[in-house]
Amino acid sequence: MHWTFDYPWGATATWLAVVGAVMVLAASFALVWRELLPLSPGSVAVVALRLAALALIVYLLIQPSVIFKRTREVKPHVAVLLDTSGSMDVVDSGHSRKRLAEAVEMLRRTRLPERLAEKSQPHLFEFSTGISRLKPDKLPELKDATGTGTSLGIALSQVAEEFKGEDLAAVILLSDGRDNTGTDPLKAARELEVPVYTVGFGRPKPKEEKAKERDLMIVEVSHDRRVVVGHATDLTVTVASKGYEARTVPVRLELDGEVVATSAVALSPDRPERQVVMKLKPTSPGQYVYTVRIPPDPTERDKSNNERPVPVFVTDPVWRILYVEARPRWEFKFLSRVLVAYKNIEYTSVVRTAPEKVVIQGTNPADAARIATMTPDQLRRLKALIIGDVPRTFFTNEQLATIAALVEQGGSVLLLAGKSSFGLQGFGGTPLERVLPIHLRKIASYMERRFRVRLTNEGKAHPAFQGLEHDWSRAPELISLVGIAGVKPGATVLMETTDGESLPVVVVHRYGHGKAGVVLTDCTWRWRLGLADGTIDVDLQTIFWRRLVTWLMPEEKAEKEKRAVQLVADKLRYELNEQVTLTVTATDAEGKTVENAKVLCRIYAPDGKVIERQAALTKVGAGQGADAYVATFMPHTNGKYRVVATARQDGVDLGRDQLALVVGDTSIEKKLTDPDRDLLKRLATRTGGRYYDSMEAERITDDLTLQPKKHTWRQTQEVWDRWWVFLMLLGLVAAEWTIRRMRQLE
């Protein structure tokens, strides 16, 4: 304890005030000194009382305080991590219990949590790919290890975050060391900056046991991620056999437990791995996760690899598409080939080869002749219209108004670049411009320039090009581009130039209940040159048009009305600890983004947990990007996730959308189950900890250096601002005044 002074006006000013008070008192003594003589007990009392009052005033002026030093011992924190991933469910050779049961028994036998509590604050967690608090009294209920992956790195990183700013003394890790996903555990342990004490469980399988292992497994499934309803696509399934004689293995394709396709593959010791091709023909639109499954053999120990998830995005059917051009050109030739390949489309093309001559082609010739008349009734029968390089005079005003109404009511339109369609006789000021995703210039905007293209981040996440891994920048340069006055709010730039200006090349949006898009170049045929000369090894032009036309295909009206809210993820398959970005568009009847909606994304995880994320309105993309609602989440376990997005405005339900996605490999935990003691030892050694076998674990508390830290702080207590000081000063003044009055002093 020691004293200190709080000078209210600073030290100098305060002491000057004290000196002033002393001088005033001295002056008062000088005035009454003669009256005090001869000295008597009364006069002495007056002097004493005045001096005491002066001392008390000085006491108040310097405002003294007492500072006390307080000290308290605080126990450090210790985190105990118990591995509950699938490999801990293994019963090792020569053992009668699962690895998890042995770890729980070790905690009970050694009384580790109780002994740690004597010198620290212990915290028990279970983990596979992320940590979760576990109450010690719940340990006996922990029977099965069901985690679909193991990430020691993620678990250690989450411990660091959990105890950020706290005195974490050590981490005790109980695991078999089988790390198969997530971040680098050694790096995470170094960043934790505390010793990690590891306890290893499990035994490697004997070689003779491995040689006798039997297993039927699905090695891989190759498939298209996007499929059109009613359009068959191939799934190539690789099946393997180990330890079995020749046999025929049935293969089933299922959706929500219902078999949608079957096949079989013959395997033998000479041909233990073979492929089988299955046909998938979806019957309804949506984003689904199918399952390829082979029946397990009773003698198999690992049955988790007998099935594989197959994420597929299924688009809705379009029955009638009209494509118009004012002249034959390369884009028409290749785009027509793509349209004809759709078996569920009735495709009609109208090409005006001369002022009074048109060429009509179609997959249904009888109906094509009627559609080619383009009367309002025939236009209303269409689901989509592709407008090539034609001037606005190609249509009547009534036809243009009907086309705009078609989009508003659920149809689609795609405007292609050309000297006529974007020239002085283009569609500026017409009803068609109203539904387009761009603002048109009032002057001719077709220009010749060389450039390459790339998908924007929004383009990679958009349903039209989602999942494509092709490098578009390697494709041959394009040589024409149409300039625009701007991208409308709510529209999305899917493809842009790579020349530093990032000019739009493909722009789309949803308008009303329909879709509209523009392609601002007319020379995608040049991508074919790259395929011919070997610059690229994939047919980018066919992929481009097929993906764009597939997205253009509108949904049925009732389904479409639900899609005023549209949910997309940037991919269909993710790795563990890879952030998932969810983009939700909520549009009104005019196709404009609703800016004050409450958008909620509810994520249903494979382990039954439900995660909720509120999506925030964000400018998606740079420059001319559109507004959309964006939410993110981090998958915590492998498996199939279902996401449902809902949007409300002022209490009114705007709609909902949902999708499914797959994270990681759900069979990874059973592929390799041998413990990795070397990893556990390295974790311990590099952090200053120690490795223990499960039978040595009782020594952990003896080896841990746990010193409680002394928490010291200063407590200041003011001793001048008290009621009794005020009463004392009042009493001194009153007593001095009373004595003076009694002696008749002034």
496-518 confidence digits (pLDDT tens): 999 888 899 999 998 887 899 99
> What pLDDT score was predicted for residue 246?
92
Q: Mean pLDDT score of the chain, rounded to an integer?
A: 84
Q: What is the pLDDT of residues 324-383, one digit of tens each?
A: 999 888 888 889 888 888 777 888 999 987 777 889 988 888 778 888 889 988 888 788
623 vs 468, residue with greater confidence:
468
Q: Which residue has the tokens 């009782």?
A: 698
Tell me which H or E stretch contains 700. helix 700-703
Matching residue, tokens 């699962």? 98
User: Which of these, 47, 136, 34, 66, lies nearest to 715 by C-alpha position?
Assistant: 66
Query: Within 10 A of 278 (CB to CB), how many other CB atoms are there?
Result: 21
Lowest mean pLDDT among 249-263, 271-285, 564-578, 693-707: 564-578
CA–CA dist 251, 197 (Å, integer): 46
Looking at mean pLDDT, say which of 7-16, 599-608, 626-635, 708-717 comes out highest. Answer: 599-608
Q: Tell me if 130 sits within 8 A of 154, measured CB to CB.
A: yes
Q: Are strands 384-387 and 320-325 parallel, antiparallel or unpaired?
A: parallel
**Cβ(118)–Cβ(133) below 8 Å:** no
- More confident call, 319 vs 445: 445
Question: How far apart are alpha carbons 92 and 202 in whole angstroms?
Answer: 6
Chain Cα centroid distance, residue 274: 37
pLDDT higher than 60, residue 148: yes
Alpha-carbon distance of 712 to 47, in angstroms, equals 47
Pick the more confident residue, 226 or 666: 226
**Is the pLDDT reported for residue 415 higher than 90?**
yes
Contact 203, 694 (CB under 8 A): no
Q: DSSP secondary-structure letter at 734?
A: H
Q: Is the pLDDT of residue 445 over 90?
A: no
Angle formed at CA 395 by CA 393 and CA 397, multiple of 5 degrees: 95
Report pLDDT digits (tens) over 93-103: 888 899 999 99
- DSSP per-residue letters across 159-200: HHHHTTTS-EEEEEEEE-----SSS-HHHHHHHHTS-EEEEE
Domains and CATH numbers, the chain: 2-71+715-742 (no CATH), 76-205+673-707 (3.40.50.410), 209-315 (2.60.40.10), 320-557 (3.40.50.880), 564-668 (2.60.40.1930)
Q: Do the beta carbons of residue 29 and residue 54 sit within 8 Å?
A: no
- Across 2-11, 260-269, 467-476, 702-711, the highest mean pLDDT is recorded for 260-269
pLDDT at residue 596 is higher than 50 = yes
The count of other CB atoms within 10 Å of the CB of residue 295 is 11
Cα–Cα distances in Å, from 532 out to 333, 337, 537, 722?
17, 18, 9, 96
Q: What percent of the chain has pLDDT over 70?
A: 88
Q: What is the pLDDT of residues 605-642, one digit of tens each?
A: 988 889 999 999 887 654 444 678 999 998 888 888 88
Average pLDDT on 409-436 reads 90
Residue 558: predicted pLDDT: 38
> Which of 81-90, 192-201, 528-537 has the weakest average pLDDT?
528-537
- Enumerate the β-bridge partners of residue 617: 629
pLDDT at 399: 93
> Of 99, 121, 237, nearest to 170 (Cα)?
121
Per the CB < 8 A criterion, the answer to whether 630 and 582 are in contact is yes
Cα separation of 122 and 111, whole Å?
Answer: 12
CA distance between the termini of the chain: 45
- Where is average pLDDT lowest: 387-396, 478-487, 527-536? 527-536
The pTM for the full model equals 0.51
Reply yes or no on whether the pLDDT at 552 is more than 80.
Answer: yes
Angle between helices 112-119 and 99-110 (to 10 degrees): 50
Distances (CA, A) of 563 to 46, 197, 511: 95, 53, 11
Query: Given this model, what pLDDT does residue 294 score?
Result: 94
Model confidence at 151: pLDDT above 90: no
713 has a pLDDT exceeding 80: no
Q: CB–CB of 146/654 below 8 Å? A: no
Distance CA(130)–CA(128), nearest Å, equals 6
Quick one: pLDDT at residue 199?
A: 95
